[in-house]
Structure 1
Amino acid sequence: MKKASFIMIIGSLLLLGLFKFPLWNIMLGAPQYPEPLGMNIYINGIKGVSEFDLQNIDGLNHYIGMKTIPKPEEMWEFSVFPKVILGMVILGVIIGFLGYFNKLNYKFFLGWFLLMSVLGVLGMYDFNNWLIDYGSNLDPNAIIKVTNPDGTPMSYKPPLFGFQKLLNFDVTSLPHTGGYLMFVGMFLTLAAFWLGRKASLKITTH
């Protein structure tokens, strides 16, 4: 149980990487841009991959009527997400320590993993809704208006995950370092549950 508890603590602490590294990355490549434009999405705000990327993306978006990329104070998520992540780290470490001293059952490791999974799914759902609004709620007075073959306004929603062609832009949306650290941390807490369960079964069979 001690080994499982130690892994639980390490897994929880890996989430602290989200305070330093981006959670997600969206890149836009086009023939007129030899260096692709990109934005890194952190749990507390959005930054350009290069110095003027956000400025250039906002400039392009203006022509098709998209809103400017939000500042941290313009989205409640950027103030709530850091608190949620910090709370989950503290909870995970407490569970790990209590497990180390046999003060609670290994099933709490799975409970933490499930709670984090639910929060992660809700976060992705919220992020996707923002992308839909960002790419679909366009200014009707925009300089450029592009429609689908059926005449409906074209959506410029970037993909939540993977690759998509938007006009002459190749858009790629993938997890970044912080996201991978979070996934590894969650996997470790799941591994801690299995190790704890294995150790518990050994004790009951002897």
Structure 2
Amino acid sequence: MKKASLLMILGAILLMGLFKFPLWNIKLGAPQYPEPLGMNIYIDGIQGMNEFDIQNIDGLNHYIGMKTLPKPEEMWEFSVFPIVIGGMAALGFLIGILGYFGEVSYRWFLGWLVLMTILGILGMYDFNAWMIDYGTNLDPKAIMKLQNPDGTPMSYKPPLFGHQKMLNFDAYSYPRLGGYLMGVGMLLTLVAFYIGKRSKMKTNENTI
């Protein structure tokens, strides 16, 4: 059980990487931009990959009526996410410590993982909903008004995950280091659960 608890503690600690490294990245490439434009999405705000990327993206978006990229104070998520991540990291660390001293069972590891998974799904849903609004709720007075072949207004929503062609731009959306650290942390918690379960089964066999 001690080995499982140490993995649980390590998994929780890895979440803290989200306070330093970006969770997600969206990159825009086009022939007129030899070096793609991009933005790194942190749990507390958005930063350009390069110094003027945010200004350039906002400038392009202005022509098609898209909103400017939000500042931290303009989205409640950037205030709540750090609290949620910090709270889950602290809770996971506490569960690991209690498990190490035999105060809680391995089932608590799975409970933490389920809760973290639910919060992650809700976060992705919220992120996708923001991108839908960002890419479809356009200013009717925009300089450029482009339509799909069926006559409906064109959407400029970036993909939630993967690649998508938007006009002459190639949009790429993938996790960054903070997101990978969170994934590894959750995987370690799952491993901790199975190791704890196996340890408990062996203990029960030895007592029979």
Task: Report how far residue 203 of structure 1 moved.
Answer: 0.3
Unaligned runs of 5+ in 1: none
% same residue: 71
Which residue in 1 is equivalent to 2:157? 157
The runs of at least 4 aligned residues of structure 1 exceeding 4 Å deviation read none
Which residue in 2 is equivalent to 1:15? 15
| Aligned partner letter, 1:175 | P
CA distance in 2, matches of 1:146, 1:61: 13
Which residue in 1 is equivalent to 2:62? 62
Report the secondary structure of 1:150's partner residue. Answer: coil
Alignment of 1:1-206 (within 5 A): 1-206=1-206
Task: Report how far residue 118 of structure 1 moved.
Answer: 0.1
Q: 1:10-45: CA deviations, max 9, x gaps?
A: 000000000000000000000000100000000000
Aligned residues: 206
CA distance in 2, matches of 1:181, 1:39: 19
CA distance in 1, matches of 2:136, 2:204: 58
| Aligned partner letter, 1:2 | K
CA distance in 2, matches of 1:88, 1:192: 16
CA distance in 2, matches of 1:139, 1:104: 55
| Aligned partner letter, 1:106 | Y
| Aligned partner letter, 1:86 | G
| Aligned partner letter, 1:4 | A
Task: Report how far residue 159 of structure 1 moved.
Answer: 0.1
CA distance in 1, matches of 2:8, 2:33: 45
Q: 1:53-95: CA deviations, max 9, x gaps?
A: 0000000000000000000000000000000000000000000
TM-score (structure 1 length as normaliser): 1.00
TM-score (structure 2 length as normaliser): 0.99
CA distance in 1, matches of 2:111, 2:80: 22
Report the secondary structure of 1:80's partner residue. Answer: helix
CA distance in 2, matches of 1:102, 1:177: 33
Task: Report how far residue 130 of structure 1 moved.
Answer: 0.2
Report the secondary structure of 1:153's partner residue. Answer: coil
CA distance in 2, matches of 1:178, 1:104: 29
CA distance in 2, matches of 1:196, 1:187: 14
Give the RMSD, CA atoms, in angstroms.
0.3
CA distance in 2, matches of 1:94, 1:32: 51
Unaligned runs of 5+ in 2: none
Report the secondary structure of 1:198's partner residue. Answer: helix
| Aligned partner letter, 2:195 | L
Task: Report how far residue 149 of structure 1 moved.
Answer: 0.5
